[in-house]
Chain A
Amino acid sequence: MSWKKALIPLASVPLIILLAYGFWTDPRAIPSPLVRQAAPSFRLALYDGDPLSLEGLKGKPVVLNFWASWCYPACYEEAPLLEATWRKYRDQGLMVVGVDIQDKEANAREFMRRFDFSFPNGPDPGSKISIDYGVYGVPETFFIDRQGRIKYKHVGALTPAVMEEQVRAILRET
Chain B
Amino acid sequence: MRSAVKASGLLRRVALRGRGGRGLPPLACLGLVIVLALAAPPRGEAAGEPARPPGGPPPDLEQQVYAVASGLRCVVCQNLSVADSPSDLAKEMRSLIRERLQQGKTPDEIRAYFVSRYGDFVLLEPPKRGFNLLVWGLPFVALLAGACGVYLVARRWTERAHQAAPALDPAYLERVRREIEERKGSTGS
Name A's B-contacting residues (CB within 8 A): 11, 18, 30-34, 102, 126-128, 130-134, 136-137
* Pairwise interchain contact B119-A131, C-beta atoms closer than 8 A: no
* Pairwise interchain contact A131-B93, C-beta atoms closer than 8 A: yes
A33 and B92 contact, Cβ closer than 8 Å, known pairs A136-B75, A136-B76: no
Q: Across the interface, which residues of A come within 8 angstroms of B163, CB to CB?
A: none
Q: At the interface, yes or no: B115 with Cβ under 8 Å from chain A?
A: yes
CA distance A137 to B117 in the complex (A): 14
CA distance A33 to B89 in the complex (A): 19
Q: Can you list 16 A-B contacts with CB-CB less than 8 angstroms, sorted by A residue number?
A: A11-B145, A31-B119, A34-B116, A126-B96, A127-B89, A128-B92, A128-B96, A130-B89, A131-B89, A131-B117, A132-B117, A134-B118, A134-B119, A136-B75, A136-B76, A136-B118
Q: Across the interface, which residues of A come within 8 angstroms of B134, CB to CB?
A: 18
Q: Across the interface, which residues of A come within 8 angstroms of B145, CB to CB?
A: 11
Q: At the interface, yes or no: B60 with Cβ under 8 Å from chain A?
A: no
Binding site of A, secondary structure by majority: helix, strand, loop or mixed?
loop
- Least Cβ distance of A100 to chain B in Å? 13
A102 and B118 contact, Cβ closer than 8 Å, known pairs A128-B96, A136-B75: no
* Pairwise interchain contact B76-A33, C-beta atoms closer than 8 A: no
CA distance A33 to B75 in the complex (A): 15
CA distance A11 to B92 in the complex (A): 47
CA distance A132 to B117 in the complex (A): 6
Cβ-defined partner of A30 (8 Å) among B76, B89, B96, B119: B119
* Pairwise interchain contact B89-A32, C-beta atoms closer than 8 A: no
Between A31, A128, A131, A132, the greatest number of chain B beta carbons within 10 A of the residue's beta carbon is seen for A131
A137 and B76 contact, Cβ closer than 8 Å, known pairs A33-B116, A34-B117, A102-B89: yes
Q: Across the interface, which residues of A come within 8 angstroms of B88, CB to CB?
A: 102, 127
* 8 Å CB interface, B90-113 against A: 92-93, 95-96
- Least Cβ distance of B9 to chain A in Å? 36
Q: Across the interface, which residues of A come within 8 angstroms of B140, CB to CB?
A: none
A-B contacts besides A127-B93, A131-B96, 14 pairs, CB < 8 Å = A11-B145, A32-B119, A33-B115, A102-B88, A126-B95, A126-B96, A127-B92, A128-B92, A130-B89, A130-B92, A131-B89, A134-B119, A136-B75, A137-B76
Q: At the interface, yes or no: B151 with Cβ under 8 Å from chain A?
A: no
Q: Smallest CB-CB separation from B76: which chain A residue?
A: A137
* 8 Å CB interface, B114-132 against A: 115-119, 121
* Pairwise interchain contact A134-B117, C-beta atoms closer than 8 A: yes
